[in-house]
Structure 1
Amino acid sequence: MSITISQPDFWELFSETEEIQNQCADKFETICPYPQALGQGNLRYIHLREGLELTIADYQLHDDLILKSPERQHSLEFTFYLSGGHKNQSSSALAGQYAICGSGVAPKESYEWLASQRTLAINLHIEPEFFCSCLDLHTEQRTVQLTHLLGTPEQKFYVRSGNTTSVMTMALQQILQCPYQGVTKRIYLESKALELMALLISEELALGQSQKDVCHLKPDDIERIHCAKDILLENINNPPSLIELARMVGLNDCTFKRGFRQVFGTTAFGYLHDHRLEKAGQLLAAGEMSIKEVARVVGFTDRSYFAAAFRKQYGVNPSLYLRSHQKQMRNSA
């Protein structure tokens, strides 16, 4: 027998356990009982620092569980299964394996967990800003092999699973058997979380290197890629897909994707995303349109996504940006 539940209903069951959550002696850790309707066990949430959280899941389901998740925004997550595991349409990760999920849009899909095995998993939740600060990815010399982990708010997220190495397993066991308390515990767990992050980054870089295939562009290819860029900017609020764009300029998918990154230093839709925000800033500064109208004109269908992306680009909310420019225009009138 299996239970099917939507993600909102799933987390609603967790919210009902708030009254019996256990705030540990260490204020940075909270233990949340697993909902009794679904199984027995708990989740330990450990806040290590801004942008980095550690979760230890240890529970046994009563029945197989199918979780239906809507399309949603996703931060970076690295999950290691010591026992149990999950599977869905795009990937799976079982005992002795890990799953890497990049930031961006997670598609609508169903996840399945089996009741036959106790689930013991360690999850690292990493905000893109923290990830960038660790690797200095904001610089011009950023590591191109890792940019696929940092999708824009409109890009589908990257996901991959792999086998947990012996070195990773040792770090995982050290997390579970942490001998410290208080601030020492927090520092120790943070060091182990960063160690796991480093190990996965090392594997990701090695994987990227093995797949590396330098794209040698002909002058005609470069001209076609510039033409594709112009098509994107002419269709800012309804762009063609990558496949359609490649065909429109007469390139195969592989040459187009690699060539666009080589010419412009980012993906086609990364370039479009940046241009949309630049155009949005110009329109808001002009003061002739509302925030909702600007978001629609530049191609953001979800206003909350637009606000988050705008804030990341300009450092302020669209509303504050608009008001400040309106004030400047009144003062200059």
Structure 2
Amino acid sequence: MPELFSAQSPRTFGQTALLQAYGNVTLTHFNTGNGIAYGAFEGMFHEEMHLQSLEMKEQSFLYFNLGDDLCFKSINDKKAFSMRQNSMIQGTIHEGLHSLGIYEKQKRYSCHTLIVDKALLDSLHTYETSLTPGYFQINTYQNMAQNQRVLLEHILKQKELLGPLQELYLESKLLELVYQTFHNTSVHVCTKLCQDDCKSLHKAEQILLGNLSNPPSLKALSHQCAINEFKLKQGFKELFGTTVYGLVHIKRLEKAKELLEKQEISVQEAALHVGYKSLSHFSKAFKERYGIFPSELKKERKYYR
């Protein structure tokens, strides 16, 4: 759930260590001064944690989940909402919302919130339906597009900069993220795909995620999901913002990064595990996506205790 800060408040930037006795968790916040405020909640808890929040005013928001799946509950009306990894929602939280965030033990959380001034949001986007009417209103819930993930990863790296350069970098990336989000919404909204098509595409996504090292051919995948090959390719890009094998490429690198960060495994073993036969090809692709070679990541990795 978005943290308590306002897109109307003065420009601020800060990073605060939270709940150190319970895990390694940080909160980062920044106000662009353009009607957009940003907050990030990152880390891992040693034990299951239940965190409550109370909203003091109505706020429109964009919420991006890069980490493990999330679960929220509205204490007001007992409604629960789960948010999967690499997904985003756009909606409104109403004054008086009393919510409960449930964070499981030893899961990696990376949650990013943009509070957007309502007048600015209304000028950018017209929404007609609410998926969850009540204190917590969701108008859009979908997988993040590749460009959104890349921008969020750049934002996470801003800690390497200091002073005015850091603020300028953050502001530029956040404004680009808002632009790309609503540009993607206008371009990639699933308007030509029926409900059955969307189910088939989500099934195709799950098959690919379960076979990253040896994904099926497009023909075999379309047959397994009961959707023709043309609609599979076009629909996949429309629904997920990338191609079929573009998703495989992204998920392979994400899995390899996770292995190198959390396990005693060599770079070559990580590459083979996710389906790369060429170590040089893997290292080049990893560098292009994360700005660092996998061998460098292995040297610099940090473990959550």
TM category (shorter chain) comes to: 0.3 to 0.5
Please give the TM-score of this superposition, normalised by the length of structure 2: 0.47
Higher relative contact order (CA 8 A, sep 6+): 2
Q: What TM-score, normalized to structure 1?
A: 0.44
The answer to which structure has the higher helix fraction is 1
Larger radius of gyration: 1
